[in-house]
């Protein structure tokens, strides 16, 4: 299996410890987690095709730049300098360069240009550091969202303003090129995180680092959590660790203590009963037929954050004993964390990394700990999160996962990610490791590949008029006499506010709704839907897709759509 968000390219960033809490500052007032997601009715789910971030696209790229003032630490300079580009690109272009703290192998993959010739890192180490002033970093994984993902092509060059002298940036520029942050004090080691070269009066000596797109990753095929592994013992074991969020004060007054209480309230309202023999924290259980769902809740006193080594045993217990591990708290910028030091189990596990920038900092140790993507999928955000988003994201994730666990695995990873992103109103969360998962509701695709289907497509663009009841329509004619076993409908459309849209499909007198004003302010839909209503029916004839925008100020285009029919056996 490979990651949907990244593959093996990860780079070291040697920073001092500092909490990654920009946009994560504690809100005032009591916790408020919104409506209980476990009481929402779940639909049968939609299978996913393509990248599992609703507005995202994965590419590979080469970074190239100069560096001055790096002598004793020349080999660490490229990944450190790339962090400045990471901050610059995600703030301005919704481009996320995956430079990860925990991977110390980055310098070994950097190439240096010396006397006009590119030299690999192993050979460069024999040269005087003063010669190492221009580098490139190939095969870096990059996530592009929204506008940046449209019309991306191989060979495209994107630039980012970075300092020429990263190791003296604080002395050279003071605070003139950094944004203020109430939670993170400005220092040399975290300057990259607060980097803003467009700030008026910035005194740094700047250069343009180039990011050249070398590969556009193909869309991910339909993938699901490995439900067959989750229900092997008829019990789904989940742990939710609420980290410590406030900097001081009684831990029972911590903001996340109240969030944990809210979450417990959700479980009770959804029919979970509290067990009296919880080995740690609080335990809640519910039976659905022969299946049991167990949720352990660890309050902030049991595990503060990934550098809380005084409670590492509690984190180890959580990881060792549960199939789904959810951490909701601060991420930490810097080397060394509980995710590096715990031992991971041999069984299949889903890790939900709810901290700010968790994808950049904790995907790599999770993958390393499991050895490969064979036994782990990992959900994480590529951006900073608000405290107030943690419970809604977790609730949407678990409610959909529970539905899949209870109903033959009908909730795909796309369905789960759509639930999270629709709940939050943005597309910051994605899942790594799901590409190549074997489970499908109809069987194991690795040992029993599904039969070949029949593909029918329309590639003629159609404008989606703004606030017009007639909407846009497009028709596909199926000439073949087929009895439908399964039907997948794939859409590719651009739109600046998909919450305005209602999308229906009509065939043989039936009109199921594919999209009902979901997604809020999200942009674009590249998604595959499974439609069960036509199973067992004749596919022959016209199929009409209709897209209606029912609010003013936004419009878009249906780029293409297709039908994939697997005949009934």
Q: What is the CATH number of the domain that holds 327?
A: 3.40.50
Instruction: Give the mean model confidence (pLDDT) for residues 263-270.
Output: 97
End position of a domain, from candidates 413, 442, 471: 442
Residue at a domain's end among 196, 216, 236 = 216
**Domain closes at, from 216, 242, 265:** 216
Q: Do 185 and 233 belong to one domain?
A: no
Residue 567 is given by DSSP the state: E
Of residues 70 and 410, which shows the higher confidence score? 410
pLDDT at 4: 37
* 310 Cβ contact partners less than 8 Å away, ≥ 6 residues apart: none
CA–CA separation, 207 vs 117, rounded Å? 21
Identify which has the larger pLDDT, 391 or 569.
391
* Cα–Cα separations (whole angstroms), residue 313 to 228, 282, 302, 358: 29, 17, 10, 21
Distance CA 140, CA 144 (A): 13
Bridge partners of 9, per DSSP, are none
Which residues span the domain enclosing 508?
A: 454-567
Listed in sequence order, the residues at least 6 apart from 92 whose beta carbon sits closer than 8 Å to its beta carbon are: none
Kind of pairing between the strands at 331-333 and 291-298: unpaired
User: Does the structure show a pLDDT above 50 at 483?
Assistant: yes
Instruction: Look at residue 18 and tell me if it is in a domain.
Output: no
How many folded domains does the chain comprise?
3
pLDDT band at 337 (very low <50, low <70, confident <90, very high): confident
Cα distance between the two ends of the chain:
29
Residue 471 pLDDT: 94
CA distances (Å), origin 482, targets 222, 510, 542: 22, 17, 13
Give the least confident one: 169-173, 182-186, 288-292, 295-299.
182-186
| Residues 188 and 328 placed together within one structural domain of the fold | no
**DSSP H/E element including 397:** helix 390-406
* In a domain? residue 6: no
pLDDT digits (tens, 9 = 90+) for 216-246: 876 555 688 999 999 999 999 999 999 999 8
Residue 108 lies in a domain: yes
Q: At 118, which helix (H) or strand (E)?
A: strand 117-120
Q: How do residues 495-509 score in pLDDT, each as one tens digit?
A: 988 889 999 999 999
Token pair for residue 168?
A: 């003296």
Residues 465 and 522 in one domain: yes
pLDDT of residue 52: 46
- Which pLDDT score is estimated for 112? 95
User: Quick one: 84 and 203 in the same domain?
Assistant: yes
What is the pLDDT averaged over residues 289-318? 96
Do 269 and 193 share a structural domain? Answer: no
Instruction: Using the structure block, give the residue that is written with the tokens 């999200």.
Output: 522
- Element holding 257 (H helix, E strand): helix 255-269
Per-residue confidence (pLDDT) for residue 27, from 0 to 100:
53
For residue 319, being part of any structural domain is answered with yes
CATH number of the domain that residue 469 is part of: 2.60.120.260
pLDDT grade for 333, boundaries at 50, 70 and 90: low
513 pLDDT more than 80: yes
Per-residue model confidence (pLDDT) at position 219: 59
**Top-confidence residue, 347 or 365:** 347
Mean pLDDT of 430-452: 79
- Where does residue 170 rank: exposed (0-12), middle (13-18), buried (19+ CB within 10 A)? middle
- Contacts with 244 (C-beta within 8 Å, 6 or more apart), sequence order: 251, 254, 256, 300, 301, 304, 305, 308, 329, 330
Inside any domain, residue 280: yes
Do 297 and 348 share a structural domain?
Answer: yes
The verdict on residue 199 lying in a domain is yes
Please give the Cα distance from 359 to 470 (Å, whole number). 42
Going by pLDDT thresholds of 50, 70 and 90, the confidence category of residue 20 is: very low
- Judgement on whether residues 189 and 228 belong to the same structural domain of the protein: no
CB 350 within 8 A of CB 328: no
pLDDT above 90: percentage of residues in the chain: 50
Q: Among the ranges 1-5, 418-422, 539-543, which has the highest mean pLDDT value?
A: 539-543
User: Would the pLDDT of 41 be above 90?
Assistant: no
Give the single-character DSSP code of 11: -
**pLDDT band, very low/low/confident/very high, at 462 (cuts 50, 70, 90):** very high
For the stretch 87-110, pLDDT in tens is: 999 888 878 776 543 344 456 678
Q: pLDDT tens for residues 391-427?
A: 999 999 999 999 999 999 988 887 888 888 888 877 7
- pLDDT the model gives residue 384: 76
Q: Calculate Rg over the CA atoms of the chain.
A: 25
Q: Are residues 389 and 314 both part of a single domain?
A: yes
Round to whole Å and give the CA distance between 244 and 329: 6
Higher pLDDT, 19 or 363: 363
**H/E stretch holding 18:** strand 18-20
Residue 418 and residue 274 in one domain: yes
pLDDT for residue 11: 30
Examine the pLDDT at 305 and tell me if it is beyond 90. Answer: yes
| The pLDDT of residue 252 is above 90 | yes
The predicted pLDDT at position 56 comes to: 65
Please report the beta strands in 397-539, taking only residues with DSSP state E, as ranges in sequence order.
429-432, 439-440, 443-444, 454-458, 462-464, 472-478, 484-495, 501-506, 513-516, 525-530
Q: Closest Cα to residue 405, out of 291, 564, 482?
A: 291
pLDDT of residue 297: 98
At residue 179, does pLDDT exceed 80? yes
Picking from 124, 54, 44, 122, the residue whose alpha carbon sits closest to that of residue 94 is 54
| Together in a domain, 165 and 239 | no
Please give the Cα distance from 99 to 81 (Å, whole number): 10
Establish if 13 belongs to a structural domain.
no
Same domain, 179 and 212: yes
Residue 512's contacts (CB-CB under 8 Å, 6 or more residues apart) are 504, 505, 531, 533
pLDDT in tens, 119-152: 998 898 888 888 999 999 988 878 787 777 777 8
What is the rounded (10 degree) CA torsion for 9, 4, 16, 239? -140
Strand (E) or helix (H) holding 215: strand 206-216
Residues 197 and 72 in one domain: yes
d(CA 286, CA 507): 40
Q: Average per-residue pLDDT in the chain?
A: 84
The rounded distance, in Å, linking the Cα atoms of 561 and 546 is: 11
Domain membership flag for residue 526: yes
pLDDT surpassing 80 at residue 294: yes
Residue 238: enclosing H or E segment and its boundaries? strand 235-242
Q: What is the pLDDT of residue 13?
A: 32
């Amino acid at each position: 299996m490979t990651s949907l968000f990244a593959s093996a390219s990860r780079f070291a960033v040697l920073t001092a410890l500092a909490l990654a809490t920009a946009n994560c500052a504690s809100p005032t007032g009591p916790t408020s987690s919104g409506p209980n997601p476990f009481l929402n009715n779940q639909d049968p789910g939609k299978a996913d095709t393509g990248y599992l971030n609703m507005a995202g696209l994965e590419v590979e790229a080469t970074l190239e730049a100069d560096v001055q003032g790096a002598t004793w630490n020349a080999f660490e300079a490229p990944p450190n300098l790339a962090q400045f580009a990471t901050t610059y690109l995600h703030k301005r272009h919704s481009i996320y360069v995956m430079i990860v703290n925990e991977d110390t192998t980055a310098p070994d993959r950097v190439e240096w240009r010396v006397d006009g010739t590119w030299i690999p890192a192993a050979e460069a180490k024999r040269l005087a550091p003063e010669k190492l002033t221009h580098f490139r970093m190939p095969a870096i994984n990059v996530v592009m969202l929204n506008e940046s993902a449209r019309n991306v092509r191989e060979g495209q060059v994107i630039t980012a303003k970075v300092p020429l002298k990263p190791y003296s940036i604080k002395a050279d520029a003071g605070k003139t090129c950094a944004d203020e942050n109430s939670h993170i004090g400005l220092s040399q080691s975290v300057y990259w995180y607060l980097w803003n070269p467009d700030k008026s009066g910035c005194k740094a000596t700047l250069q343009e680092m180039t990011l050249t797109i070398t590969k556009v990753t193909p869309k991910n095929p339909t993938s699901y959590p490995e439900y067959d592994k989750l229900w092997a013992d008829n019990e789904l074991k989940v742990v939710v660790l609420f980290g410590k969020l406030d900097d001081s004060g009684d831990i029972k007054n911590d903001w996340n203590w109240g969030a944990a209480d809210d979450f417990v309230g959700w479980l009770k309202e959804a029919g979970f009963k509290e067990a009296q023999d919880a080995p740690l924290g609080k335990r809640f259980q519910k039976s659905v037929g022969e299946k049991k769902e167990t949720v352990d809740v660890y309050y902030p006193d049991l595990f503060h954050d990934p550098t809380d080594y005084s409670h590492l045993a509690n984190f180890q217990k959580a990881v060792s004993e549960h199939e789904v591990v959810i951490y909701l708290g601060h991420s930490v910028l810097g080397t060394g964390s509980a995710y590096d030091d715990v031992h991971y189990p041999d069984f299949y596990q889903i890790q939900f990394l709810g901290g700010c920038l968790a994808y950049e900092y904790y995907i790599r140790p999770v993958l390393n700990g499991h050895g490969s993507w064979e036994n782990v999928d990992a959900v994480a955000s590529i951006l900073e999160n608000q405290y107030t988003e943690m419970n809604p994201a977790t609730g949407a994730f678990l409610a959909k996962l529970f539905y899949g666990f209870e109903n033959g695995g009908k909730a795909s990873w796309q369905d789960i990610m759509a639930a999270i992103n629709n709940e939050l109103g943005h597309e910051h969360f994605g899942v790594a490791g799901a590409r190549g998962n074997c489970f499908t509701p109809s069987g194991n695709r690795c040992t029993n590949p599904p039969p070949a289907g029949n593909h029918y497509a329309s590639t003629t663009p159609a404008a989606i008029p703004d606030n017009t009841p007639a909407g846009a329509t497009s028709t596909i004619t199926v000439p073949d006499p087929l009895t439908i076993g399964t039907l997948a409908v794939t859409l590719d459309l651009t739109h600046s506010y998909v919450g305005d849209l209602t999308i229906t499909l009509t065939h043989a007198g039936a009109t199921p709704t594919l999209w009902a004003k979901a997604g809020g302010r999200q942009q674009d839909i590249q998604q595959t839907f499974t439609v069960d209503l036509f199973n067992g029916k004749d596919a022959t004839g016209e199929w009409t897709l209709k897209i209606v925008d029912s609010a003013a100020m936004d419009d878009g285009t249906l780029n293409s759509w297709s039908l994939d029919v697997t005949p009934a056996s």
